[in-house]
Chain A
Amino acid sequence: MSELSLNGIPIVDTFAEAFDVAGTAIVVTNDTAKWAMIAATTMTGFATSVIGCGAEAGIDAVLGPEETPDGRPGVRILLFGFEPNGLKEQLIKRVGQCILTCPGTACFAGVDGPNKIKLGGAIRYFGDGFAIAKRLPDASGKARRYWRIPVMDGEFLCEDSVRAVDGAVGGGNLLFLGRTHSETLIVAEAAVEAAKAVPGAILPFPGGIVRSGSKVGGRTKGMMASTNDAYCPTLKGRAGSALPADCGVVLEIVIDALTSQGVSDSMRAGLHAATEIGAKHGLIAVTAGNYGGNLGRHHYHLRDLLARDDVKTEG
């Protein structure tokens, strides 16, 4: 299958194909870490795939009080969309329905970038004319504008605008070919933990893992995507199957990041973490998904990720 290997696990000499996306980050704070996480979890729900959900979102980091603008516990959320207008629409909807509604929350910009997205300035209309704008300098002296929207537990404070970055990438991925479901899940979980520890990268699928990898289009008219039949173990033996005979399950991790380097670092971390425990858990091989290289301009070759250097993780 491959001449490449890492920690004794064969690595298919292929690449993950990823795409330019619009990306932003926000910081959600609350009086307690528990409620900050509740708000963040709610906002990032139903955000696994931009195709079906309108956005891909995830929790990038849990922040201590010393790391947030208002000195309360917080969570940094990343949100990605196909293009800036779609991202803006999703951001406003999700903050409006999940952050504004959550008791005690406040919302701040979580990243600097060239593209402005009006957030508090849009949500303020919920205040029905009673909202108050406030401009205060942050710790660096830069003036920031906030909206204070009266709500039933006091005020919802939301930064007037947030920033979208240039250079965000969505769709980095790794596929783990295993023997049993339970063992392969352990391998994929280890990869997720390592991959999501890279700052500025998220894995938007449930628990960071997707079992329904897709290909572009399908045999049914109108389908934008359909099951990745080449990696379905129940379709082994048919023409086009990419699985060896002893493969019983394939699990995939998908990575979005604010930078291309973030995707690369995250994939590298996931690849190494998976292969380190792979032999013990029946990992047969690691590969990556692509569309022949013609759709996405970012290609992450697995052979370039075998070296351990350049891995940047938190802590």
Chain B
Amino acid sequence: MSTLTLRETPPERLDFLNINPLALSRLSQAEAERLEVGTTRTGVRLGDCFSVSLDGSDTLTIAGGHERLDRVGASLSEGAIRVTGDVGQRLGEGMAGGSLTVTGHAGPYAGAGATGGTITVDGDAGDYAGGAVYAAKAGLDGATLIIRGTAGAHLGDRMRRGIILAGRAGAYAGSRMIAGTLAALAVGDHPGYGMRRGTLLLGSHGRLSPTFVETGTHDLVFLRLLGKTLAGLSAEHAALLDRPLRRYSGDLATIAKGEIWVAS
């Protein structure tokens, strides 16, 4: 297991786009330490802030995270990255595969555009987790994003594919959703605002937009499949399906192929 150990607070925001186990396995320790990770003209290099220990394996531990570490795991396609501590914005942005775990909190846009793999945040995540960054067509796009704490507003904004699980989330969870599945134990106001397709499974929610219409309770085969999927990810979220669920269809302001399932 390769390890990057944070020695001091980064002097500026660092971009970890190119830091992943596969890339590091091709480098010597000296080469890795010279990798540019700074985002200003000062030219901060990896070795300036981190002690580097490489063994060529497909697992990388970043010991000592910081909220200035941006795009951690963004280029991950295989292997695993584990961060003990916090990370900055765009955790796992565009990630294609592998496993990415953060024991602390994540900044905004975690999992934006990620097409594969599993991203787990043990703490909280900022706004637009699993959402679309500026000018992007879609948010989460096939990956699995698990936020065990609380996610900010606009969780899963314009997500297109994949699964998001969150403990709690702010307002506008699943806003403008294109497709995919989002489950949370509780969310704020206006879940599914402007959603076109997709599924929201909620323990509770704030105010619901008037453009959602209740269709009643249904015993659908789809819920059985969803239950099996969730059981492998989070027993707490899978348990939402044990109770009778009310189904709301919407958003009628769009094509209305989305649905919100709410535990009764």
Contact = CB atoms under 8 A, between A and B. Distances in A.
B251 to A, nearest CB: 14
Given A71-B228, A134-B199, A136-B226, A106 B221 contact: yes
A133 B224 contact: no
B225 A69 contact: yes
Tell me the dominant secondary structure on chain B's binding face: mixed
Interface of B: 142, 161, 179, 181, 197, 199, 218-222, 224-226, 228-229, 232, 257, 259
Nearest to B258: A132
B197 A155 contact: no
A70 interface: yes
Given A70-B221, A132-B197, 9 more contacts: A70-B224, A71-B224, A132-B259, A134-B181, A134-B222, A136-B229, A137-B229, A139-B232, A157-B221
A154 B226 contact: no
A297 interface: no
A90 interface: no
A109 to B, nearest CB: 13
B228 A139 contact: yes
A15 interface: no
Interface of A: 29, 69-72, 106, 130, 132-137, 139, 143, 146, 148, 154-155, 157
23 contacts: A29-B221, A70-B221, A70-B224, A71-B224, A130-B257, A132-B257, A132-B259, A133-B179, A133-B197, A134-B199, A134-B225, A135-B161, A136-B225, A136-B229, A137-B232, A139-B228, A143-B142, A146-B225, A154-B220, A155-B220, A155-B221, A157-B222, A157-B225
The 7 closest A-B pairs by CB, nearest first: A157-B221, A106-B221, A70-B224, A136-B229, A70-B221, A155-B220, A136-B225
Nearest to B224: A70
A124 to B, nearest CB: 12
B161 A155 contact: no
Contacts of A72: 221, 224
A146 B221 CA distance: 11
Contacts of A137: 229, 232
Contacts of A157: 220-222, 225
